[in-house]
Structure 1
Amino acid sequence: MSKRVDIMVDIETLGKGSNATIFQISAIAFDIITGEHYSTFNKIADISKNDKLVVDGSTLIWWLNTNKELLAELLNNGHNSSDKLLIMFNDWIHTQSDDINDIHLWGNGILFDNKMIEEQLISLGVDYPIYYKNDRDVRTIVDLAGKKLEITEQELKEYFKDESLTEHDALDDVKYQIKLVAGCYNALIG
């Protein structure tokens, strides 16, 4: 019998639409009870290698007003096109379990990270590697745990906050979200 594999993913993009340019994909396979990390994927695109860029002005302005130094650092450290990044991520997911149906992909809003990855993989002619019942949503588990613990979402997030992590760096966001999800999971099942 194969074992459930939970993977937390976070992407950084230049827009909010499903076809927006993805320039960073980070993911960690993890134990949902302990939060232990098993395997890490962290790649940054060299957007100069993209055939096209899909950017929306409000997202670009948001980046410039939020952390333009991080944006510059990320955009200057990429190696492959955004399309190649997606293919590499798909390949990495397939190495995480002998049975792809055992993989549960967590995103901070499945209609953003997970959905954007799915739609862009399909546009490349690649099947989305996650079984349709296995997309998981950080926001939902946080909402449920907050209600059970009778605290606000913000109070719950503050409890798990880690000042050593850089917000909006996808890898650091993944690390934070794993701590958050493992804590919420334990609050719900404990």
Structure 2
Amino acid sequence: MSRLDVVIDLETMSTLPNAAIVSIGAVAVRDRVPVGEFYVRVQLETALDVGCAVDGDTMEWWMRQDVDARQEVDGSQEAGSLYQALTDLEAWLEETAAGDRFLVWGKGPSFECTILTSAYRAFRRDAPWFFRNERCMRTLLDLYPEAGDLPFEGIQHHALHDARHEAAQLIMALTLHESRPAA
């Protein structure tokens, strides 16, 4: 059985655990090779309808971001419901994993996985991964800072572009880890 890692990035309208999700990006990596991508925009209203949070500081932060990034989350592009986005993410994960165990990587220990779990719970559903398989990119990049220096390609704060970048960082960090001499 080969290793499958899934890097997930969210764009949200809050930093709280129940933040309103406005886009989801994910990249699957099998044995240090990207093997699939997922991207969806979410209608903000559908997140608000189930009690997801928006905060003024995050909204102000978005106003200072590049116009290309803002257009992905401002409602001007085609987007679906939060329920459908979560359903599609789950289906993509099941198809991509094909029954294999997989690790889910988020940028922080209390951001992507926590917010997605909260969103699934808002619909009385469980997150489609085992909680013990959650991993933190920030911790990995602290251990392998060279991977954090990779140049960014694409639009920063675009969920898929960020997930692609983080997947490249993950691949580099895992490669560095495996090349270290045994202690």
- Which TM-score bucket, shorter chain as reference? 0.7 to 0.9
- Matched to 1:133, the amino acid is R
**Paired residues of 2:11 and 2:23 also in contact (CA < 8 A):** yes
Give the structure 1 partner of residue 148 of structure 2: 157
Counterpart Cα distance in 1 of 2:46 and 2:110: 27
What do the CA deviations read for 1:42-61 (whole angstroms, capped 9, x no partner)?
00012245553631000000
The match for 2:34 among 28, 34, 37 is 37
Say which SS state the counterpart of residue 175 (structure 1) adopts: helix
Letter in structure 2 aligned against 1:27: A
The amino acid of 1:157's aligned partner reads: G
Most deviating of 170-179 and 83-92: 83-92
User: Is the contact made by 2:137 and 2:170 (CA closer than 8 Å) also made in structure 1?
Assistant: yes
Q: Cα offset for 1:68?
A: 4.5
Cα displacement (A) at 1:16: 0.8
Matched, 1:3 2:2: yes
Instruction: Provide the TM-score with structure 2 as the length reference.
Output: 0.86
1:177 pairs with 2:166 = yes
**In percent, how many aligned pairs have the same letter?**
22
Rate the CA distance shift 1:189–1:59 in 2: closer, same or farther, 3 A.
same
Where structure 2 has 5 or more consecutive residues not aligned to the other structure, the ranges are none
1:186 aligns with 2:175: yes
- Structure 1 residues without counterparts, runs of 5 or longer: 147-154
1:133 aligned counterpart, secondary structure: helix
CA distance in 2, matches of 1:96, 1:46: 25
Tell me the C-alpha RMSD between the 2 structures. Answer: 1.9
Structure-2 separation of matches of 1:50 and 1:117? 12
Q: Trace 1:46-85 onto structure 2 (pairs within 5 A).
A: 46-50=43-47, 52=49, 54-74=53-73, 75-85=75-85
Partner of 1:152: none
- Deviating beyond 6 angstroms after TM superposition, the runs of 4 or more aligned structure 1 residues are none
Measured against aligned partners, the alpha-carbon deviations of 1:78-107 in whole angstroms (never above 9, x if no partner) come to: 32112321222122111122326x111111
Mapped contact 2:3–2:31 kept (Cα < 8 A): no
Q: In 2, distance between residues paired with 1:50 and 1:8?
A: 22
Q: Which amino acid aligns with 1:161?
A: P
Number of aligned residue pairs: 176
TM-score of the two chains, using structure 1 as the length reference: 0.83
Instruction: Say if 1:87 and 1:121, in contact at 8 Å, map to a contact too.
Output: no
